Amino acid sequence: MRGEYKVPGGKLVAVDVEVTDGRLSHVVVSGDFFLEPDTALESIDAALLGMPETAKVDQLTAIVESVLGDDVTMVGFSPEAVAIAVRRALGHATRWEDHEFEVVHEGPESPAMHMALDQVLAEEVGEGRRRPTLRIWEWGAPAVVIGSFQSLRNEVDPEGAERHGITVVRRISGGGAMFIEPGNTITYSLTVPASLVEGLSFERSYAFLDDWVLGALGQLGIDATYVPLNDIASPAGKIAGAAQKRMANGAVLHHVTMAYDIDASKMLEVLRIGREKMSDKGTKSANKRVDPLRSQTGMARADVIEAFKDHFRSRYATVDGAVTPDERARAEELARSKFSTHEWTSRVP
């Protein structure tokens, strides 16, 4: 059996294994990484022999680390990368190439409906009734989306939100607040089975699931990088923020909002925490706009989105998809009974 893992920003690690009586009886690690001294590769192979086929990533990582002395240098990979490749060889984890993805890009939805669609589609992916899905959002109204655990009163100025006609909704994932105006952001959800990120820490899973969009930005001429824990940035500053939710049924919801052309002065009237962040950066202009994607690409928002979709399709097996009538009906009910309610939005006052 063979497993492969491409380290985000690093090298490919491949592992060929055989199993006898529930334990690894043959292990060969290979790849385009760098390792000194080269005899360390034999030590890694030998350390993995005899490990149970049920061993978790942390156990496999620890056994590899145990045979690496201070004189060993690993470039482009790590003991954890080897462990993940072993788990994939044993069929516990999957690769991007093992899945066919639906690409869904439909018309504008209300803020509450977007929250509901994220939950419904993630539940469907977890239950195996839907393919892994990349969904591009179109916004039907301006909004502030706060993280699942954020305090409503600490994040949002209600007078500012009312003055600008801003709807406030709470999503099911953690992370920080998002200020949204239709046409000024690019938001997408990537919903995948947990097997795709099996063995990855939360931090590594963010980088892993954001890797494709870094490639897309690179094709548009933006030197984008992943900034732990959950940001994407270029030399000119932050471009996007991501959030994640691990569903109980085994799906992973990963969504990203990118600034195309944000009215920062309006944002500061609505987001309280935004004032502190902008103040820390010494931003004083009342007319400031945050426009990394518009200014750095010179492209219309719709063209940027199409370039993203084309890049995703070039890397992975995809089909064009849509929200099914049943999914939409369930999402509409959730939008009404949960995501539009004061009880949910203010559950952390």
Domains and CATH numbers, the chain: 2-93 (3.30.390.50), 97-345 (3.30.930.10)
At residue 256, the pLDDT reads: 97
Do 206 and 229 meet the contact criterion of CB atoms below 8 Å apart? yes
Closest CA to 170 of 347, 24, 345: 345
Do 99 and 316 meet the contact criterion of CB atoms below 8 Å apart? yes
At residue 199, the pLDDT reads: 81
Do 87 and 57 meet the contact criterion of CB atoms below 8 Å apart? yes
Rounded to 5°, the CA angle 260-303-168 comes to: 35
Sign of CA dihedral 52, 128, 140, 332: negative
Could you give the CA distance from residue 118 to residue 171 in angstroms, rounded to a whole number? 9
Could you give the CA distance from residue 1 to residue 6 in angstroms, rounded to a whole number? 17
At residue 277, the pLDDT reads: 55
Could you give the CA distance from residue 179 to residue 139 in angstroms, rounded to a whole number? 12
In three-state form (DSSP H/G/I as H, E/B as E, the rest C), the secondary structure along the chain is: CEEEEECCCCCEEEEEEEEECCEEEEEEEEECCEEECCCHHHHHHHHHCCCECCCCHHHHHHHHHHCCCCCCEEECCCHHHHHHHHHHHCCCCCCHHHCEEEEEECCCECHHHHHHHHHHHHHHHHCCCCCCEEEEECECCCEEEECCCCCHHHHECHHHHHHCCCEEEECCCCCCCEEECCCCEEEEEEEEEHHHHCCCCHHHHHHHHHHHHHHHHHHCCCCCEEECCCEEEECCEEEEEEEEEECCCCEEEEEEEEECCEEHHHHHHHEHHHHHHHHHCCCCCCCCEECHHHHHHCCCHHHHHHHHHHHHHHHCEEEECCCCHHHHHHHHHHHHHHHCCHHHHCCCC
Output the six-digit token pair for 303.
């063209």
At residue 92, the pLDDT reads: 82
**Predicted confidence pLDDT, tens digits, the chain (349 residues):** 999 999 988 999 999 999 999 999 999 999 999 999 999 999 999 999 999 999 999 999 999 999 999 999 999 999 999 999 999 999 888 889 999 999 999 999 999 999 999 999 999 999 999 999 999 999 999 999 999 999 999 999 999 999 999 999 999 999 999 999 999 999 999 999 999 998 888 888 999 999 999 999 999 999 999 998 899 999 988 999 999 999 999 999 999 999 999 999 999 999 997 555 555 444 444 446 778 899 999 999 999 999 999 999 999 999 999 999 999 999 999 999 999 999 999 999 9
At residue 15, the pLDDT reads: 97
Cis peptide before 37 (omega within 30 of 0): yes
